[in-house]
Structure 1
């Protein structure tokens, strides 16, 4: 009975006391030191724990990665632009900041050296051989001569100081076109010059009946204006227009030459001037024209 009670008291001790008792018993029964492993996990248990652990993400979203790639591409392009960009293209870009004409020439080609080169070459080709020639006119008056001029069938020739640019062709063409339109409408009729013979000291009177009864006077025909290098020409048939139409044209060309582009000489009549080559219409050899 006493043994049973002792066993009951032994096994009903707290776990800490049982562990201490077992350690004392084991150490007293063996002279060698013993290492006790209270708990251990097998290799299979570790693999199970790893498989059950949650998978960690990269910390970024798909949108974030796309934005990062875009930023990297932008930085790469900026690096290439600074280190591999042609020096002449950088000079043109800087010049565009203060030059509106150059900025208009380059347009949306800025940043693309090859396209910039093509735009500039095309501009130089259109302006002619002398790209830097001044466009402010000439202080020297144009020389005017007549060579067997027939008002019904003759050429009017213009000799410029250099190959005309597209702007020059448009200026001369617009003047000749306006001159022809006015002549076509009967503007050059000396039979009805009522205002030129009236005094402007008082309000003049215009006789509309007289103006409507005068004999019509109008141009008959005109050709397109052609240019070969620095020479230009236009064929005219003045019809019944009076000769003071020539004075009107010369007045216009005189101011045009002094203010906008230099005209070296104007020749009325003649079949061939300078090194004009009949039938040559190739733009690569300096041929240009203005459609009337």
Structure 2
């Protein structure tokens, strides 16, 4: 799967997928589950680089580490706001997101998940983060779905 970043607006982000072939209903359900799961973690504030205590502790010190709840409570909230419905047209799929105040960590997590998803399930040839597809215009106003 090739990944390409286009113009990224985290408050109105389209993610585009070009598949090897037109997806089946099962393929669409699986891709929707991946995106919905990623969104739910973001909605709950999971992509917050201001509070990555275990990661920064390192493998040697994470056992029996003291979790700093005050730091966690004082960290800026980083939550996704909205997600549109997964749409498809031929070999193409797309989905709209408002990443709100979440960090770019969210995009890395999505890409990592999609790479494995593409290998094991639906073959994705390209994933475009942001921008538009000239052959498939986007609506001028996105309706919120929570």
Q: 1:210 aligns with which of 71, 75, 81?
A: 71
- The aligned residue for residue 31 of structure 2 is 172
User: The residue matched to 1:267 in structure 2 has which SS?
Assistant: strand
Query: Are 2:13 and 2:99, in contact at CA under 8 Å, matched by a contact in 1?
Result: no
Return the index of the structure with the highest Cα Rg: 1
Residue 196 of structure 1 deviates from its aligned partner by 0.2
Residue 200 of structure 1 deviates from its aligned partner by 3.5
Residue 199 of structure 1 deviates from its aligned partner by 3.4
User: The residue matched to 2:50 in structure 1 has which SS?
Assistant: coil
Structure 1 distance, partners of 2:21, 2:113, is: 20
1:261 aligns with 2:122: yes
1:276 aligns with 2:128: no
Equivalent residues, number? 139
- Structure that is richer in strand per residue: 2
Which residues in structure 2 correspond to 1:109-120 (within 5 Å)? none
What is the aligned-residue RMSD (CA, Å)? 1.8
Q: Give the structure, 1 or 2, with the largest relative contact order (CA under 8 Å, sep 6 or more).
A: 2
Residue 277 of structure 1 deviates from its aligned partner by 6.3
Structure 2 distance, partners of 1:277, 1:229, is: 14
Residue 253 of structure 1 deviates from its aligned partner by 0.1
Q: Which runs of 5+ in 2 are unaligned?
A: 140-144
TM-score, with length taken from structure 2: 0.88
Q: Return 220-229 or 205-214, whichever deviates more.
A: 205-214
Residue 240 of structure 1 deviates from its aligned partner by 0.3
Structure 2 distance, partners of 1:169, 1:209, is: 42
Structure 2 distance, partners of 1:200, 1:260, is: 31
